[in-house]
Chain A
Amino acid sequence: MEGMAYLKDVVTLELNEEKCVGCGMCTEVCPQAVIAINDTGRAWIKDKDACMECGACSRNCPTGAFSVEAGVGCAAAVINSMLGRSDVCCCGPIKTCGQTVHPKKSSCC
Chain B
Amino acid sequence: MGKIPLVLPVISELPQKCDIPVGLPGLTQPFVAGSIETPVGTAPRVTSVLTWLDRWGTIRARWGVGRMDYTVEPGLYAHGNPNNESRVLVTANYKMSFDRLREALPGRDAWLLVLDTKGINVWCAAGKGTFGTEELVRRIKMSGLDKVVTHRELMLPQLSGPGVAAHLVKKFSGFKVKYGPIRACDLPAYIEAGLIAAPKMRLKTFTLRERIALIPIELVAAFKAAILLMLIFFLVGGLGGPAGYWSNATNYGSCAVVAILMAIISGAVLTPILLPFLPGRAFSLKGCVVGVVAAFVLLIMRNPYLAFWPERLEAMSWLLLIPALAAYLAMNFTGASTYTSLSGVKKEMRFAIPLEIGAGVVGVGLWLVSRFIA
List the interface of chain A (C-beta within 8 A of B): 1-8, 10-12, 25, 27-33, 50-60, 62, 64, 67-81, 86, 88-98, 102, 105-109
The residues in B between 38 and 81 inclusive whose CB is less than 8 angstroms from any CB of A are 64, 67-68
Is A78's CB under 8 angstroms from B1's CB?
A: yes
Interface size class of B (residues with CB under 8 A): 35 or more
- Per-residue interface assignment for chain B, residues 1 to 39, with 1 indicating a CB less than 8 Å from any chain A CB and 0 otherwise: 111101110000000011100000000000000000000
Is A53's CB under 8 angstroms from B341's CB?
A: yes
Roughly how many angstroms separate A52 CA and B161 CA in the complex, as a whole number? 13
The residues in B between 154 and 175 inclusive whose CB is less than 8 angstroms from any CB of A are 158-159, 161-167
Residue from the set B64, B163, B182, B342 with the largest chain A CB neighbour count within 10 Å: B342
Is B335's CB under 8 angstroms from A32's CB?
A: no
Residues from chain B with a CB closer than 8 A to the CB of A80 are 1
Residues from chain B with a CB closer than 8 A to the CB of A1 are 203-206, 338-339
Is B4's CB under 8 angstroms from A92's CB?
A: no
Is B218's CB under 8 angstroms from A107's CB?
A: yes
List the interface of chain B (C-beta within 8 A of A): 1-4, 6-8, 17-19, 64, 67-68, 118-121, 123-124, 126-128, 158-159, 161-167, 179, 182, 197, 199, 202-206, 214, 217-218, 220-222, 275-277, 281-283, 331-332, 334-349
Residues from chain A with a CB closer than 8 A to the CB of B128 are 72, 89, 91
Is A4's CB under 8 angstroms from B4's CB?
A: no
Residues from chain B with a CB closer than 8 A to the CB of A58 are 4, 6
Is A92's CB under 8 angstroms from B336's CB?
A: no
Roughly how many angstroms separate A9 CA and B199 CA in the complex, as a whole number? 25
29 A-B pairs in the complex with CB atoms less than 8 angstroms apart = A4-B206, A6-B281, A7-B282, A11-B341, A30-B202, A31-B158, A31-B203, A52-B339, A52-B340, A59-B164, A59-B165, A60-B164, A64-B8, A73-B337, A73-B344, A74-B1, A74-B340, A74-B342, A75-B283, A75-B334, A78-B342, A86-B1, A89-B120, A91-B124, A92-B119, A97-B18, A107-B64, A107-B220, A109-B121
